[in-house]
Structure 1
Amino acid sequence: MIRGDMQETETQPFRRQVFFISGYDPRGALFLHKNCVTETDKWSETSGYPVKTGPRKNIGKLVRRWVITSDIPGGPAETNFDFLQWDDIIRAHWDKRNWLVYLQGIGVLWRLFLDGVFTRTIRDSWPISTVMVAPAATAILHGLGVLLPLIGLIGLYFFPGIIGKVIALALIGIGAYAFWWIRKNMDRYRPEWNGRIGVFANKMAISRDSVPGLDERLNQMADHIVASIEEGKPDEALIIGHSFGTTLATIVAARVLERRPEWGGKDSPLGFVTLGQTQSLLSFRKKHGWYHEELSRFAKFPDFNWLDFSSPPDGACFALINVLDFLPNPPKSMPKMLNAQFHKIHTEEHMNEARYFRMLMHFFYLHANGHPQIGTDLYDFVLLIAGNQSARQRYAARQSGKPYFKKEK
């Protein structure tokens, strides 16, 4: 059993176990650990309360662990933060040829259209459709940037009359502008990264075995979580997924509940948190497959504590979309869909930077608040992973939100 009744005292801190599954990022534990060090230091400096991230340790081949300690009003807390590795699988599918990724993006976009994902995305959460289009648009605009000036140069010689020369010059200008614009905006939309995610998501949609080793890794993650909770008996255990990692984390959490169904009740300290969800890349598909089968397991646990944080300005997530809405009778308040409200927790300078570099906001879920507020239910990554209050308690009073972009019928 999980121990959920431990009282926080000066001698006995609130004990938490975090199991973190990253997005489609080959940088792995090194990047996330550095992020935790940086962001807990920032939070401490801003709030005046000490939160410290310790060094990385290897716990077998699957896990990299570090300890996060805090001493804030209400008592101390200690978190074992387990980074569950799958970056080796990512690197095996990480094509370094950006030009090929852009070309593949055309096929990915076509597949998303045929499967109904793109059409529904435009209707229910349109900002991320820009991210879906970006790789294909990059390939097309690069092609136009080369082809149109070439045709124009040939046309200067062969096109007859003044009108022909004007058309030729226009083709050169349009092609040059297309090439200039896409090169200027590459860093804003990161089409090479998003293209790789799209390719991988399409592979995952095919079957459990379409990505070699992935299904086994998900089972290993679930087994590690079960064993760690049973051994450590923490006050709170959180499975956390970010970005495309939310897709894997939903599978892992479902398999943990399958192994230990008693952990799915409303009094269980086990919780699940998805940050900047992208699960709809699979769940929006008209033809239901293995991923829908995995998600269907949550129907048995309507009181399970699943918090889904997203933000409408984050153009790389499906904002406030209930990924379980394909179920015949989905749970009424699970997952609890919450707006991260970045405009309330980050500085205006930070927000303005993200409004230009569109992908930056997708990482705000992992950043320290510019204005930490301990006694509120505002989203706070540092308090989520290092605070002395459980996520269930902190967000108990907040109601699940409604789809932000989807028009109600």
Structure 2
Amino acid sequence: MSSTLSYTPPALPEAVPGPVRRRHVFYVPGYDPGAGSRYRMLFVRELTRYAKRFAEPKRQISRAVTSPDGLVQSWSVAALPETQGAETSYDVLLWDDLVARDFARWRVISVLLLVAGTLQTIANGLMVRFYRLNWKYGNVILYPFVMVILLCLGASLVGALVQAGLDSSLGWPPWASIPAGILAGLGMVAALEALLNRAFFWQLLNDWVFNWQHGQGWRPDYEARLDRFADHILARLAGFAAEGTRLDEIMVLGHSTGALTAVEVTARVLARDPDLGRAAPNLSLLTLGSGMPLVALQPRAVRVREEIKRLVASPRLVWAEYQAPQDWMNFPGFNPVRHLGLDLEGAPVTNPLLRSAKFREVMTTETYMKVRRRPFRMHFQFLVANEVRGDYDFFAMTLGPQRLRERVLAPVHPTA
């Protein structure tokens, strides 16, 4: 893992003057079959805690409205004059139906895909690169593969014992005892289903398979969803313009696997609208706890690297990424400019701004000690209300008066 957790690009776009009074956020959740309900509940709960902890007035949140096609969930948060908080509207871009489809496929297919993807990654040396970037994430990637091996060994042992018992005790012929042993082994695996779910086995297995397939270019359903998200963003912005609504900041925000999705969608939006961000870079891209290397480092992920390259050299937006050494499921120190070998053809580097979320500083010691060995809880700390004021502050970035660029470079802590 790299020791450099802070990077400011040499050609970072200039600041746009004035506070944010009106912001629109396009949020992309991670690889989560329950994202359609989970993020809304998390947002409301944590914003309530945030206000209570820092003695701020409670902000009014509108009811959520889901689009007819089920792909966008929208709500708004009222401005907070006491802290100069911006009026913020939200569109959550949903792709949990694609994730649910992955979870619904035959388990044996998922396991075979896992084995194929893991063996390929080991053979081409990528697994070593993942471990060098973050050994914890390397363990997370290998965890389902190792579990599959252990489950196969356990099932084989149970099956062999059952077969031997039936042969010796009851005198069953092999044509009957062997199938019975196989069924016993499969029954052992089925009996562990609840335990496997609590251990996030299937979640991590399917997540890794998705990232591998994405890097191979084998997810046309996901590619089509990226296009639909780009279409929605452009239509939404055109709607604001038609009604005369002035947005001080347009923010595309992604967490976890959704961080790369946010990057891909932003690149497509900029490619389709040559005027967006030309007059002033009021377009912000915020990526949190990203697993970008899982896809971008794969040799066949040429399209993904090309889109990242365009953003790295674009003066039309400000891209900030927060990483956390305490989070097992991100790559602290990863810099696409340095680690992806991008050929910018002489263009200046404008993005991304890289910073550490410094979770130890925004959590109490007691809370940190409770959650430091809970990988998923720590991974979601990016979206959770601070317990202590700090430079990293999810709600200050999404609801506060500072633009993302200024929030990262010179954060002002709100006071009620």
TM-score, normalisation: structure 1: 0.79
| Residue 199 (structure 1) aligns with | 209
| Residue 22 (structure 1) aligns with | 29
CA, structure 1 residues 6+344, in 2 after alignment: closer, same or farther (shift >3 Å)? closer
| Residue 341 (structure 2) aligns with | 326
| Residue 108 (structure 1) aligns with | 117
Q: Is the 8 A contact 2:216 2:300 kept in 1?
A: no
| Residue 292 (structure 2) aligns with | 279
CA deviations on 1:32-87 (whole Å, 9 max, x unpaired) are 11111101000011011133432101244231101122426542421111001111
Cα distance in 2 for residues equivalent to 1:18 and 1:56: 14
Runs of 4+ displaced beyond 6 Å: 149-154, 182-185
CA, structure 1 residues 379+265, in 2 after alignment: closer, same or farther (shift >3 Å)? farther
1:309 aligns with 2:322: yes
Q: Identify which of 363, 366, 386 aligns with 1:369.
A: 386
1:395 aligns with 2:408: yes
Structure with bigger RCO (C-alpha 8 Å, 6+ apart):
2
- Local SS of the residue matching 1:25: coil
- Local SS of the residue matching 2:140: helix
Unpaired segments ≥5 residues, structure 2: 1-15, 169-188, 412-416
Cα distance in 2 for residues equivalent to 1:118 and 1:185: 27
CA, structure 1 residues 303+37, in 2 after alignment: closer, same or farther (shift >3 Å)? same
- Local SS of the residue matching 2:398: helix
| Residue 54 (structure 2) aligns with | 47
CA deviations on 1:75-129 (whole Å, 9 max, x unpaired) are 2421111001111222222236667645543322112223432111112222100
Q: Is the 8 A contact 2:19 2:403 kept in 1?
A: no
Instruction: Quote how far apart the aligned CAs of 1:341 are.
Output: 0.6
Q: Is the 8 A contact 1:18 1:82 kept in 2?
A: yes
Q: Is the 8 A contact 1:189 1:357 kept in 2?
A: no
| Residue 308 (structure 2) aligns with | 295
Q: Identify which of 67, 71, 76 aligns with 2:76.
A: 67
Instruction: Quote how far apart the aligned CAs of 1:139 are.
Output: 1.1
| Residue 224 (structure 2) aligns with | 216
| Residue 336 (structure 1) aligns with | 353
Instruction: Quote how far apart the aligned CAs of 1:130 are.
Output: 0.6
Cα distance in 2 for residues equivalent to 1:60 and 1:395: 36
Q: Identify which of 232, 235, 247 aligns with 1:234.
A: 247
Q: Is the 8 A contact 2:312 2:352 kept in 1?
A: no
Return the letter of the residue paired with 2:40: H
- Local SS of the residue matching 2:236: helix
- Local SS of the residue matching 1:361: helix
**Share of identical aligned residues, percent?**
26
Equivalenced residue count is 361
Cα distance in 2 for residues equivalent to 1:7 and 1:314: 32
Bigger Cα displacement from structure 2, 294-303 vs 335-344? 294-303
CA, structure 1 residues 219+250, in 2 after alignment: closer, same or farther (shift >3 Å)? same
Cα distance in 2 for residues equivalent to 1:183 and 1:357: 20
Return the letter of the residue paired with 2:207: I
- Local SS of the residue matching 1:51: coil
Cα distance in 1 for residues equivalent to 2:409 and 2:316: 12
1:125 aligns with 2:138: no
- Local SS of the residue matching 1:356: coil
Cα distance in 1 for residues equivalent to 2:376 and 2:128: 22
Q: Identify which of 147, 164, 178 aligns with 1:138.
A: 147
Bigger Cα displacement from structure 2, 18-27 vs 184-193? 184-193
Bigger Cα displacement from structure 2, 20-29 vs 213-222? 213-222
CA, structure 1 residues 41+331, in 2 after alignment: closer, same or farther (shift >3 Å)? farther
CA, structure 1 residues 382+187, in 2 after alignment: closer, same or farther (shift >3 Å)? farther
Cα distance in 1 for residues equivalent to 2:81 and 2:75: 19
1:347 aligns with 2:364: yes
Q: Is the 8 A contact 2:283 2:316 kept in 1?
A: no
Cα distance in 1 for residues equivalent to 2:93 and 2:264: 14
CA deviations on 1:173-209 (whole Å, 9 max, x unpaired) are xxxxxx9xx99995786232111011111221222xx
Instruction: Quote how far apart the aligned CAs of 1:214 are.
Output: 2.3
CA deviations on 1:323-375 (whole Å, 9 max, x unpaired) are 3432024854621111111111122233223222222111111111111x3xx
CA, structure 1 residues 91+187, in 2 after alignment: closer, same or farther (shift >3 Å)? closer
Return the letter of the residue paired with 1:200: F
